Copies of this chain bind each other. A is one copy, B any other.
Amino acid sequence: MPSIVLSLSCPDRPGIVHSVTGLLVDHGGNITESQQYGDPDTGRFFLRIEADIPGSIDELRVPVDELAATLEGTIDLTESGRPIKTIIMASTTSHCLTDLLYLQRMGRLAIDVTRVVSNHDTLRPIAEFYGVPYTHIPFSKDRRDEAEAELLQIVEETGAELIVLARYMQVLSPELCERMAGSIINIHHSFLPSFKGARPYQQAHDRGVKIIGATAHYVTQDLDEGQIIEQDVERVTHGHTAADLQAIGEDVERRVLARAVQWHAEGRVLRNGERTVVLP
């Protein structure tokens, strides 16, 4: 029996869960997992349901769209476990890219990496080892528009549903950020909002913090201000140099990013204004 994931975001009001579960019951569905959250601050309601259904997912699409309209919200409906088409972008640092490709190969992430894009050619062998096409798009002030156009073309060609910035050190254009809002995930190598901007490990070292961290967030036009999806931390001491913090931090970065990508791919992350709702 196929299994579906339904993710809903709408204004809160009585009866939502009953309506959604009613629709599923009418189609013979059996709910296997369900989480919800009503935000008293924003007045919005969020729901994720995983269910087994007897027929095809397509039979649900029209009634689900009608329900979304009635609830004045949005509902994403997809097959459970369907790998989403993903572009990974990286510059020269390999730990996040290596880990995502490894986890994809092991079946640990519900993503289908259709392309690795980089402004350098350094990481090509890693992509090749994992059998993923690699596109080098040189980036410089002169050819900014050209580079963006190449990237957009790859997005089109591959039908990318998600872009993961796995330590990609260039800023994406406002157009792309807007167009794929909520579908671009970045890993920031600090425990945001601490140490925004450049060289966060050096900043952390200079401030003498006892714990460092990393943050995966959606990319918005405001740098380092996008909605936080996941964070994690590791203890450090006075004895660690900025280079040590970087080495320790890389391990935090890769697991934070992997978790964020996984939860996003499973439809567990819903945007709620400046924040996210993560339904575990």
Contact = CB atoms under 8 A, between A and B. Distances in A.
A274 interface: yes
A238 interface: yes
Contacts of A158: none
A25 B30 contact: no
Given A25-B14, A30-B14, A36-B34, A209 B228 contact: yes
Interface string A182-194: 0000000001111
Contacts of A210: 228-231, 278
Contacts of A38: 31-33
Given A191-B194, A207-B193, A210-B228, A238 B277 contact: yes
A255 B251 CA distance: 8
Given A210-B230, A228-B210, A25 B31 contact: no
Interface in A204-221: 206-211, 213
Interface string A241-275: 10000010001000100000000000000001011
Contacts of A95: 102, 106
Interface stretch (A16-24, A79-87, A111-119): A16-24
